[in-house]
Amino acid sequence: MSDPCSGELRARVPRCLLDPRAPAPATSHGDGWQAVHLRWREARLQQVQPLPEPSDLSAPLVLPTFCEAHAHLDKVFTWREHPNREGSMDGALAANMQEHGLRTAEAVHARANAALERAWHYGVRAIRSHVDSLGPGAAASWDALTTLRRQWRGRIELDLVAMVPLDQWSTPAGVALADRVAAAAGCWAAWSALPFRAIPVVAAA
């Protein structure tokens, strides 16, 4: 019986992902792809050998796993119940605040887990997520996301980032939140003002 965690494959990869010190094969077509011979064992890549022949566009394309650098897992899939039909930043904030006031750990867990299932299916293996960390839904969000972080470890790495106004960190509640975030191996961030404001549209004369 063959070992499913070992094997080899002729494939193509973006040339920019290879060691830049490796000489480019003379037959490279300049299409950005590089033919390679991949060999892996015990589920770990052992060799990425550039091949001298031109890349075969029918060969399998191999990419590194994806990293989602900015997500908001605490409020994914909330459009159906809290839509922002005007499509504005203010509308989004109003819908967000409405949802935040009703948030439960069970709801956040179910929604974020569904998002993680999709991300996993499409090759995402690391996600950094801001977490609304002030107000009635903050504790529920941290309960659910730290649970998910533990449940998904080894498949998707979750990096949780507490988001609160800058002044909050100097309050007793902010210190308590910092302790909680540190215990969850997360990190923190803050804003001194909301980053976007609705800009009046001025009609051209």
Footprint of Zn ion (CB under 5 A)? 130
- Of 69 and 173, which CB lies nearer to Zn ion in the complex structure? 69
Q: Which residues pair with 190 in a beta bridge?
A: 164
Minimum gap (Å) between residue 94 Cβ and Zn ion = 17
Separation of alpha carbons 92 and 112, rounded Å: 19
Q: Which residue lies nearest Zn ion, judged by its C-beta?
A: 130
When the beta carbons of 13 and 181 are compared against Zn ion, the nearer one is 181
> Rounded to the nearest whole angstrom, what is the least distance from the CB of residue 22 to Zn ion in the complex?
38
Question: How many whole angstroms separate alpha carbon 147 and alpha carbon 116?
Answer: 13
How many angstroms separate the Cα of 121 from the Cα of each of 52, 103, 114? 33, 26, 11
If the CB atoms of residues 36 and 144 are measured against Zn ion, the closer one turns out to be: 144
Number of Cα atoms under 13 Å in the Cβ half of residue 129: 25
What is the closest distance, in whole angstroms, from the C-beta atom of residue 72 to Zn ion in the complex?
A: 6
Q: Which is nearer to Zn ion, 125 or 130 (CB)?
A: 130
